Chain A
Amino acid sequence: MMPARALEGLLLVVFALLPLALQPFWVIFVTRVLILALLALSFDLVWGFAGIMSFGQALFFGAAGYVVALLARDAGVTSVFVVLPAALAVGLALAFLVASFLLLGRHPPSITFVALGTLTGSYAGDRLARGWYYLGGQNGIPSIPPMTAGPAQVSEGVTYYYLALAFLIAVYAACRFLVGSQFGLALAGIRINEARMAFFGYSVQLLKAVVFSVAGAIAGIAGGLYAFHEGFVWPNMLGVILSTQIVLYALFGGVGTLIGAVIGVIAIEIVSFVLADAYPTVWPVILGVLLLVVILFRPSGLISLFVPRRIPGEVDGAA
């Protein structure tokens, strides 16, 4: 067992040095893992810390991916300084729109209502993309030109790896700051007893809408990075399967810890790759059983194998 901070430091060092030891194929693979880790963080923020069950994080991820793909295809805009802020803005705005419908009513919505509402949004996004010719229908938008930074291209490989890593570190640090702040304490209160919080005078629904929108922005950044990394976008990026996969990443790694979401992505992506190679036909079944075993016997996720359980409500300055 080691403290969570030590595990974070260890992962940081490993990720910083990894491209020096990896073949180009594996650099691309790990870059994808880093981007998906951003997406898993966005889910952990809303579910693990605020108790909002979002089955629709892929909607913000995919929508941002499509918007930057269209910017690149139709407007020739590929600058990292435009496309990634645009991806963030799309995720933020779309998540706030969804939150306005699902969270900002007069009466607090149930977890089931929000879960089904976000799932429906994800499904609707997928169907819209499949049916809209302008978005490429079933095939999506292929051949997105590489991202640029001034005259230089930022294409897949070591440069893109460090770009994704930089965003992951920045977003992780921002999430860590947020959940450790008084705002994070309010989120913990909402997660534990939402009704009680209203009697203190908190605008509970507004706080939930804010954190949901922030998570949408994170998913948006991930979508923008993913679109340029893969070079194409397709309807599955918006859909229910990816939305569910994001939930599994966090559950597998351990919710409410941030680092657990990152570990969940690493573990599932590596195991999926190995299983798909060894058992090309039945690997999804094996992966499903493995996920069930972990969730049943390690409900706190894989993170509980590495770090001791978080001391509840431990704060700076207490006592």
Chain B
Amino acid sequence: MALLEAAGVTKAFGQLTALGSVDFVVEEGQLHGLIGPNGSGKSTLLKCIAGAELPSGGRIRFRGRDITDATPADRARAGLSLKFQVTSVFPELSVYDNVLLALQARSPLAALTFSRTRAGLHGRVLEILGELRRRDRAAAAAAVLSHGEQQWLEIAMALASRPQLLLLDEPTGGMSLEERRATGELLVPLRRSCSIVIVEHDLDFIREICDVLTVLDQGRVLETGTVEQIQRSRKVQEVYLTRV
């Protein structure tokens, strides 16, 4: 059974059809890239999966459970985690608190009120910040981080709940070449613990880290296959050569 199955997903905004009957499957342990020209529906599909948008039609199943109409919180509790395209860290809070906020999300109300999980989560927060090599920035306000650092913090927050499927919308947007390389190094080992769907414009980055690619064009799936298959695809070449 696939981890995620989207079948015939459509999304219309008034007269505009952003997604037209998209089928999309993610297997366990897969690093799945979602690419396509601007306006092809990549981010919309990701939002439909995460619950930020409700599809106009079609069904989405996650670990065999129909989540089409589930709230974002229900999907998060089921094991889905989203990193938004625009960084949405909590600027007024410290880096430490940003991670703790994501980590403690599933703690019961009584435990939160009496801070019973704080000591237990403290080590995990430091561990996550250590993986990001940002432990020294724990007390800094998230607002003072560079754009690249905020992107990493956002990824760390998305990972904090140990999701089974991590959805990353342009994780390297606005990053320098060095930061992109470091982001790739950060993401590849994660496949041991979760599947990842990445929406990216940087095709070199996608080629280096993904196993499977799905190409969207004008709200429809143009092609799905391995990186090599996609690179050889005449349809994909046409889209990228003529429209990008």
Contact = CB atoms under 8 A, between A and B. Distances in A.
B139 A314 contact: yes
B114 A313 contact: no
Contacts of A200: 73, 76, 101-102, 105, 157, 161
A210 interface: yes
B112 A186 contact: yes
Interface in B76-106: 76-77, 81-82, 84, 88, 90-94, 96-98, 100-102, 104-106
Contacts of A183: 109, 112-113, 115
A102 to B, nearest CB: 18
Contact of B115 (A181, A204, A206): A181
A84 to B, nearest CB: 22
User: Taking chain A's interface residues, is the majority helix, strand, or loop, or is none over half, making it mixed?
Assistant: helix
A185 interface: yes
A182 B142 CA distance: 18
Interface in A210-237: 210
Given A182-B112, A183-B113, A317-B118, A202 B94 contact: no
B136 interface: yes
Contacts of B122: 317
A315 B94 contact: yes
B104 A182 contact: yes
B155 interface: no
Contact of B100 (A185, A202, A319): A185
B114 A199 contact: no
Contacts of B84: 196
Nearest to B106: A201
B161 to A, nearest CB: 6
B171 interface: no
Contact of B139 (A181, A198, A318): A318
B175 interface: no
Residue in A199, A202, A319 whose Cβ sees the most chain B Cβ within 10 Å: A199
Interface in B94-145: 94, 96-98, 100-102, 104-107, 109, 111-115, 117-118, 122, 135-136, 138-139, 141-143
B71 interface: yes
A192 B139 contact: no
A312 B93 contact: yes
A315 B90 contact: no
Given A202-B105, A319-B135, A319-B136, A178 B113 contact: yes
Nearest to A178: B113
Nearest to B137: A319
B101 A189 contact: yes
A110 interface: no
Given A182-B104, A189-B93, A312 B141 contact: yes
B230 interface: no
B100 A315 contact: yes
Nearest to B73: A198
Given A199-B72, A200-B76, A313-B90, A319 B105 contact: no
A317 B122 CA distance: 8
B161 A319 contact: no
A139 interface: no
A181 B93 contact: no
Residue in B96, B109, B112 whose Cβ sees the most chain A Cβ within 10 Å: B112
A313 B112 contact: no
B50 interface: yes
A158 interface: no
A181 B114 contact: yes
A192 B73 contact: no
A23 interface: no
B136 A181 contact: no
A200 B74 CA distance: 9
Interface of A: 106, 178, 181-183, 185-186, 188-189, 192-193, 196-204, 206-207, 210, 311-315, 317-319
15 contacts: A181-B112, A183-B113, A185-B97, A188-B93, A189-B90, A189-B101, A193-B90, A199-B50, A199-B82, A200-B101, A201-B77, A203-B73, A317-B118, A318-B138, A319-B139
Given A196-B84, A311-B141, A312-B92, 11 more contacts: A182-B107, A182-B115, A182-B117, A183-B112, A186-B112, A198-B73, A199-B81, A200-B161, A210-B109, A318-B139, A319-B139
